Amino acid sequence: MFPEIVQVVSNENYTVTVYFEDGKIVLYDIAPLLVKEIFRPLIDENIFINTCIIMNKSLAWDLEGNRDVGKCIDIDPLTLYALPTIDDGSYQDR
């Protein structure tokens, strides 16, 4: 099975909540990667939040806004799927 990302929500603390087709939800913290050259544009929190999308079935940041896979930063879905599942509170019993 190849995990399919169906939604991503960028958060103010350099994390992204990632939702998978099978219901799994993970929280990805990109902060440790911001020291690497390729991730430095994401230090600007507005860029981090406003360019976060799903592209080619991956979590990505479309830095130029033209959906060019060669000009984006992306994270392998398998890397994300390996993270622990979180409860985002969406399905709380009442």
Structure-token pair, residue 53: 């999308």
Domains, the chain, ranges and CATH? Answer: 5-81 (3.30.2020)
pLDDT grade for 92, boundaries at 50, 70 and 90: very low
Neighbours of 58 (CB within 10 A): 19
Helix (H) or strand (E) holding 11, with range, is none
What pLDDT is attached to residue 87?
A: 85
Coil, strand, or helix at residue 15? strand
Query: What is the layout of strands, in order, in the sheet containing 25-29?
Result: 5-10, 15-20, 25-29
CA–CA gap between residue 24 and residue 41 (Å, rounded): 29
pLDDT digits (tens, 9 = 90+) for 27-45: 999 999 999 999 999 999 9
pLDDT digits (tens, 9 = 90+) for 46-56: 999 999 999 98
